[in-house]
Structure 1
Amino acid sequence: MDGASAATPTGGETDAAPADSMLGNPASQATASGVAAPGEAASAEPLPSLPALFKAALDNDAKLASQRYEAEASQQNVPMAEAGLKPQVQASAGYIYQQSDNYYTDNPAYNPDNELSRVGSDYEARYKGVTRDQTWQLQLTQPLFSLERWRKVGKAEAQSAAAELKVAVGERDLALNVAKSYLDAFLASRKLGLLDAKRKSLELQVKQAQRAYDLGVGDRINLLEARSRLDQAVSDTLQAENELDNALSALERLTGQSPRFDGSALGDLATVDLPSDWGTADDWLSRTANNVEVKLGKQQQKVAEAETGVRAAGHYPELNLNLSYSDRSSNDPFRESRDASASVQLDVPIYQGGYTSASVRQGELSARASRASYTNALQMARQEVRTRLRGLDGDVRQVQALQRSIESSRLFLQAAEKGQQLGLRDLVDVLDARAKLYDQRIQLVEVIRQYLLDQLNLQAAVGALDTRDLVDTMTLLQRVSG
């Protein structure tokens, strides 16, 4: 994903929508007893920028940083392999102290005390059998032919490319994780707003039911029903708070920042129109070769094939050119020397106990395993495309059905409230209608969240996920938030 280099906007355009509404028209939802319309007190704070959070995650995520360092380390395999084709120069120095019992020390004719011998002559070190030598040597080796070393360079380049693709996979996964945590936080914050409005409405209903019961004109069943609904709303609120805290904690871990989702306002979701024309499945399936995991599987297959080639090159001979120069100084002048040599050395592997053949077979099996892994990655990418396309189609149809259902529930709530005023309906009917309307609104926001996740994962499945998709996600969320 090319999110690191792309421009990071602070947000998209915001469509005009009633800011004082959670879902629908609040004015038509006020009860005759003075119950506040849902969403009227909700705040419309600006949303944190999703692209900016992803940019921060690119610099903060420890797992991605580890993958980057591993990729840089893998790149060093290339010069290391190329070094095997270049001249190798080595210098060495040494000091040798040697005591020996040889022809000179055992022969009395060469005794330094003999008159015929000269004490302190060139033979003195040999008479005593003690020599002290200082040597230094400079040696150069140049490979003239080594198929194994040539193939190691190709293997190192394939490994470096595979390491870069692992970083690309890590960036894609990071983008999806940031987006998922962001959408979870958005959903939880909006659920809190809806549940808070629902709780306040139920508190007033409980007070009404209690007052009616105390005056002897109410039903105890209605009172118990209202209290049960209120307790359930409190429980749902606590759960939503926990979900919000978890999502914010995940965002802080990924990005190193603590974004705030203080707003809980929602625009008129009845007017939200989600794109539904995604083209044919065959068009999307033809693009799965661009999936970064598929590319990684293909590259890992090349690495395995290169490794097999390196192992097979062990059957071929190697030809090296050797140049050397050495200088020896000694207390025995007959041991002093300066030598320069040049040689061509041919090494032919004949038999190594079957090691090379077994190594080649092992490499071939590893190459087959990598081909199977590549096939699996391609099949998984295609399955992901099919799943996400079905999900998007179902999300759009579900949103449309929920929009119609919310409108019907809103009209039913108005009818139930008027029926209660006229004595044709009781409090339980009103509570049922109101709770159903709130639940449908929450469900609608959940479906929109799933729609956005399916959309992002579909782009990721064909290797097309980039910062523009995050901006589009922000734009839709801002339209939803009103």
Structure 2
Amino acid sequence: MRHRLLLFAGVAVLAVGPASAETLRDALVRAYSTNPTITGQRASLRATDEAVPLARADGLPSAAVDARYSEDFQQAANQFFAPARSVTGQASLSVPLYAGGAVKNSVRAAKTRVEAGRANLRGTEAQLFTDVVAAYLNVIRDEAIVELNGQNVRALEVNLQATRDRFEVGDVTRTDVAQSEARLAAAVGQLRGSEATLIASREFYIRTVGAAPESLEQPPPLPGLPDNADAAVAVALENNPTLIAARRNSDAAGFDARAARAQRLPQVSTFLGGNYFNNLSSQNAGNVSVNSGSGASAGVQMRIPIYQGGAPAANVRRARALESVAIEQVTATERAVIEQARAFFANWQSSLRVIEAAETQVSANRLSLEGVRAENSVGTRTILDILDAERELLNAQVTLVTARRDAYVAGFALLAAMGRAEARDLGLDGGPLYDPDVNYRRVRGGLWDWSDGARAAPVASSTANTPAQTPVVTKPLDPELQRGVDTGPANPDR
């Protein structure tokens, strides 16, 4: 049984919050149902399913009826006894008996490619969910950064006003005012840049999820993460869908090579045929031939290839070369999976360490800012010291929210590399999960030539009517990142 994550266990817990709040699980469910990347991959898999009945059809009976009506407008002189009008009909049935293993191996190759297609669909799910997680956390991060920059601007505005007041009473110089003005202008520019980044993140969220982000809740913790890189690699080598797909494609290429060798072997089939003709009484009176008749025949036929210009050998060599390509692709994919698992594990661990350091840095910088302001009030610190302390605190806070985002995304990407970040792993029960076996069972044994299936129609939702996003943030900052606005230097005259 595949490992099942409890990432979204306890739906009631995740539902707690404002009615308009959106959880990560909500975003994943919506993307799973409406994202065009995954709906397109499902359609691609359905096309791959059809390769099985196509391969099997070469080994099944085939029947045909030919009919012809002809009328001579002018007869040649030497065609005196030929009928002027005639109707002919012929029915035939052919049943292959032996094709040198071509049909059997072609069917095996087709079935194996269906397995590869299902693995590719799993990989598409995992990649889509990784993109959704990244988009979700990007919005949360960038909203926090906008709020932090706005908080910094408000603090610098208060600081500038206090500095101007002190300049008027001669407590500071014009240089102090200029420094405050320059730092405020830089903070405003930084705020505008962070707002543009937030808009871009929200638009990417719409592209990925299919709807505008509402008030996004913090995501739940990621369970099931490995203790070390070796454990991650071991699971990835067994469960990674891209690697599984490469292995199945390699197996299918081997069946293709076997099918190619069958071109040099005899082929045996049985046949049954019947014919009918009617001259429609169009023969001359002197012609005593019958005007109509019928016949039937049956038998066995064998085709033994003797020489085909070297084509069979070329096809076998090509199939074997393609099999070698597929084998090497397995090794290349395996290397990539190992690299991803180790890199994502390292990124996850690194981000956790950055979070710890950033939390300490934020706490220390907050105390430092308070101390610098107090020391400035007694003349032992300059305005520039205050401005530098403000900037260091902002940078530490931005580092913290960025590291939290990076840790979560890296952790989820690690789960995806391990093959544990797909719909069934995440328990997305917002609707019936897509079952690729349903379509396969429906078409694999199809014998009817007139079963066309449903017409192609769009499944994914359009985002054309989604309004353009703005940088407005309505969700308050995390309390540990908040600080009072009135943080200007103390007025010694108070």
TM-score by length of 2: 0.77
Is residue 2:40 matched to residue 1:66?
yes
Query: In the alignment, what sits opposite 2:227?
Result: 279
Mapped partners of 1:465, 1:262: distance in 2: 21
Aligned partner letter, 2:85: R
Counterparts of 1:221-240 in structure 2 under 5 Å?
A: 221-240=175-194
Shift of 1:14: 8.0
Q: Which of 126, 148, 172 in structure 2 is aligned with 1:194?
A: 148
Structure 1 residue 431: deviation in Å?
2.1
Q: Please say if residues 96 and 268 of structure 2, whose CA atoms lie closer than 8 Å, have aligned partners that are also in contact.
A: yes
1:109 aligned residue: none
Q: Which has the larger radius of gyration?
A: 1
Pick the aligned partner of 2:57 from 83, 92, 96: 83
Task: Give the match's secondary structure for 2:290.
Answer: helix
- 2:121 maps to which residue? 167
Residue of structure 2 in register with 1:145 after alignment: 98
CA offset at residue 251 of structure 1? 1.3
Write the letter of the residue equivalent to 2:66. S
1:14-54 superposed Cα distances (whole Å, 9 cap, x missing partner): 89xxxxxxxxxxxxxxxxxxxxxxxxxxxx99752222112
Letter in 2 for 1:324: G
The reply to whether residue 214 of structure 1 matches residue 162 of structure 2 is no
Cα 1:469/1:197, change in 2 over 3 Å: farther
Q: Contact 2:126 / 2:421 at 8 angstroms: preserved in 1?
A: yes
| 2:246 equivalent to 1:244 | no
Deviation at 1:143, TM superposition (A): 0.4
RMSD of aligned residue pairs (Cα, Å) = 3.2
Instruction: Decide whether aligned partners of structure 1 residues 278 and 322 sit closer, same or farther in structure 2, where only a CA change above 3 A counts.
Output: closer
How many residues of Structure 1 are paired with residues of Structure 2 in the alignment? 417
Judged with a 3 Å threshold, the aligned counterparts in structure 2 of structure 1 residues 256 and 439 are, in CA distance, closer, same or farther, namely same
Q: Deviations over 1:108-157 (max 9, x none)?
A: xxxxxxxxxxxxxxxxxx2xx54432111221100011121222211221
Distance 2:236 2:169 in 1: 70
Over 3 Å counting, the alpha-carbon distance change for 1:277 and 1:413 in structure 2 is farther
Q: Which residue matches 2:243?
A: 294
Matched, 1:154 2:128: no
Unaligned residue ranges in structure 2 (runs of 5+): 284-288, 429-474, 480-494
More moved, 272-281 vs 176-185: 272-281
Q: Deviations over 1:381-421 (max 9, x none)?
A: 11111111212222222221222222222222222122122
2:329 is the alignment partner of 1:373: yes
Aligned counterpart in structure 2 of residue 96 of structure 1, from 67, 70, 76: 70
In the other structure, the counterpart of 2:304 is 348
1:30 aligned residue: none
Identity across matched positions, percent: 22
User: In structure 2, how many angstroms separate the alpha carbons of the residues matched to 1:277 and 1:315?
Assistant: 54
Displacement after TM superposition at 1:76 (Å) = 1.4
Deviations, residues 313-354 of structure 1 (Å, cap 9, x unaligned): 111111010001111122354363211101111011111111
**Residue 299 of structure 1 aligns to which amino acid in structure 2?**
R
Alpha-carbon distance between aligned partners in 2 of 1:134 and 1:255, rounded to the nearest angstrom? 64
Q: Is 1:394 matched with 2:373? A: no
Of 269, 289, 305, the match for 2:254: 305
| Structure 1, unaligned runs of 5 or more | 16-43, 106-125, 267-271, 473-477
Q: 1:350, 1:253 → 2: CA distance? A: 59
Residue-by-residue CA offset, 1:174-197 (whole Å, 9 max, x unaligned): 111111111111111001111111
Match of 2:271 among 314, 317, 322: 322
Instruction: Return the alpha-carbon distance in structure 2 between the equivalents of residues 273 and 87 of structure 1.
Output: 58
Structure-2 separation of matches of 1:468 and 1:160: 19
1:257-284 per-residue CA deviation (whole Å, 9 max, x = no partner) reads 1113489xx9xxxxx9999984232222
In structure 2, the residue corresponding to 1:343 is in which secondary structure?
A: strand
The alignment partner of 1:287 has SS state of helix
* Counterpart Cα distance in 2 of 1:96 and 1:176: 67
Distance in 1 (alpha carbons) for counterparts of 2:193 and 2:423:
32
1:205 aligned residue (159, 170, 185)? 159
Paired residue for 1:463? 419
Of 429, 436, 439, 2:385 maps to 429
Question: Quick check: 2:20–2:214 contact (8 Å CA) kept in 1?
Answer: no
1:250: Cα distance to partner? 1.0
* Pair 470,82 (structure 1): closer, same or farther in 2 beyond 3 Å: closer
Amino acid at match of 2:227: G
Aligned mates of 1:66, 1:11 — CA distance in 2? 33
Distance 1:76 1:148 in 2: 18
Which one has a larger percent helix, Structure 1 or Structure 2?
Answer: 1
Decide whether the 8 Å contact of 1:185 with 1:261 is kept in 2: no
| Structure-2 change in CA distance of 1:225 and 1:74 (3 Å) | same
The amino acid of 2:204's aligned partner reads: A
Asked whether 1:445 is paired with 2:419, we answer no
Q: Is the 8 A contact 2:56 2:107 kept in 1?
A: yes
CA contact (8 A) 1:11 1:471 kept: no
Taking the aligned partners of 1:278 and 1:415, their CA distance within structure 2 comes to 43
Q: What residue is the counterpart of 2:14 in the other structure?
A: 12
**Secondary structure of the corresponding residue to residue 14 of structure 2:** coil
Report the secondary structure of 2:86's partner residue.
strand
> Residues of 1 paired with 2:222 and 2:167: CA distance?
47
Is the 8 Å Cα contact of residues 372 and 381 (structure 2) preserved in structure 1? yes
Q: Secondary structure at the match of 1:349?
A: coil
Aligned partners of 1:459, 1:362: CA distance in 2, in Å? 38
Change (3 A) 1:87 1:467: closer
What is the aligned partner in structure 1 of residue 23 from structure 2? Answer: 49
- 8 Å Cα contact 2:222/2:408 also seen in 1: no
Asked whether the 8 Å contact 2:268–2:302 carries over to 1, the reply is yes
Query: What is the one-letter code of the residue matched to 2:159?
Result: Q
Conserved 8 A contact 1:416-1:425: yes
CA distance in 2, matches of 1:53, 1:366: 41
Q: Distance in 1 between matches of 2:103 and 2:216?
A: 62
SS at match of 2:305: coil
